Structure 1
Amino acid sequence: MNAAAEPIISEVLPKAAWDILEGDPTAVLVDVRTKSEWAFVGVPDLSSLGRRLLQVEWAQLPNMSQNPRFVGEVLEQLGDQMPKVFLFLCRSGVRSAAGARAVKAQLMAQGHEADCVNVLGGFEGDLDEHAHRGCVNGWKVEELPWRQS
């Protein structure tokens, strides 16, 4: 692999992400949306699994500039835990893919092996024919556990 190549990440649908979390007690879910999205749209609820959600903004308001501390903040929230699987979630699956690649690149540079997985469709999913989210696909449409603050 040359230095300019982006790390390869895998992708799963939300239900498969939930199944991974159910089956692997070390897997983590990283929600990369903004604080406003967490507060007003909701977040995945992992309490039935006895797990916590990692929340680290990939981009920050007001101008959606990339969080320069993203990878560091993800790793800090892990503490001493180094999972073999990281699942990344955003609104529709775009920011989470970028976040997954960034974390994968850092882990590879540090000599760690881990799968970084993008959750396709994200939390709210793709736009429908009326330009609305939450109707086509995504975590909420799959009726996976979630809550609002």
Structure 2
Amino acid sequence: MTGVPDVSPRATWQELAQDQDAMLVDVRTDAEWNFVGVPDLSSVGKQTVLIPWQLYPSMQVNGAFTEHLHRAGATPETKLYFICRSGARSLAAGQAAQAAGFPHAFNVADGFEGPVDAEGHRGAIAGWKADGLPWRQR
């Protein structure tokens, strides 16, 4: 595989439901998980794996990121779907995962909240929430 392909939130949801080993890795910060919410995978018998790509508040890259993937049970065969707010950090996380020996890394296009709308708000145009996929407050 070359590069980290973008996958729509709905296609990600279908893959997570069909492949019992596929994982959704939310790479946002703990502040975002707590205040914005997280994807809810309980209806497909899973939990979202929470591993920050950058550490709040310094926003330095998490040097133990791939170690955390191993601890979460990821293997080189695991399909890993990375999600962040809008798709940028998750792309970087997917690239790091591929470089660390996880070739099946995917970027959830438009992330959890997607781009801002005309009023400057996220969550309405595109992304996990806008697509009506399950999520919950943490």
Normalised to the residue count of structure 2, the TM-score between the two structures is: 0.93
- 1:27-51 residue CA offsets vs partner (Å, 9 max, x unmatched): 1000000001111110001111111
**Equivalent position to 2:90, from 80, 83, 96:** 96
**Equivalent position to 1:23, from 8, 12, 18:** 18
- Please state how far the C-alpha of 1:53 moved relative to its aligned partner: 1.2
Is 1:130 aligned to 2:125, yes or no? no
Please tell me the residue identity of whatever aligns with 2:122: R
Counterpart residue number, 1:117: 106
- Secondary structure of the structure 1 residue equivalent to 2:72: helix
| Alignment RMSD (CA, Å) | 1.4
Please tell me the residue identity of whatever aligns with 1:98: A
Q: From the superposition, tell whether residues 42 and 83 of structure 1 become closer, same or farther in structure 2 (CA, over 3 Å).
A: farther
Structure 1 unaligned blocks of 5 or more: 1-6
Percent of aligned pairs with the same amino acid = 42
Paired residues, number: 137
Normalised to the residue count of structure 1, the TM-score between the two structures is: 0.86
Please tell me the residue identity of whatever aligns with 2:84: C
**CA separation in 2, counterparts of 1:58 and 1:42?**
17
- Please state how far the C-alpha of 1:83 moved relative to its aligned partner: 4.2
Structure 1 outlier segments of 4+, above 4 Å = none
- Please state how far the C-alpha of 1:103 moved relative to its aligned partner: 0.6
Counterpart residue number, 1:12: 7
Computing the radius of gyration from Cα coordinates, the structure with the larger value is: 1
- Please state how far the C-alpha of 1:84 moved relative to its aligned partner: 3.1
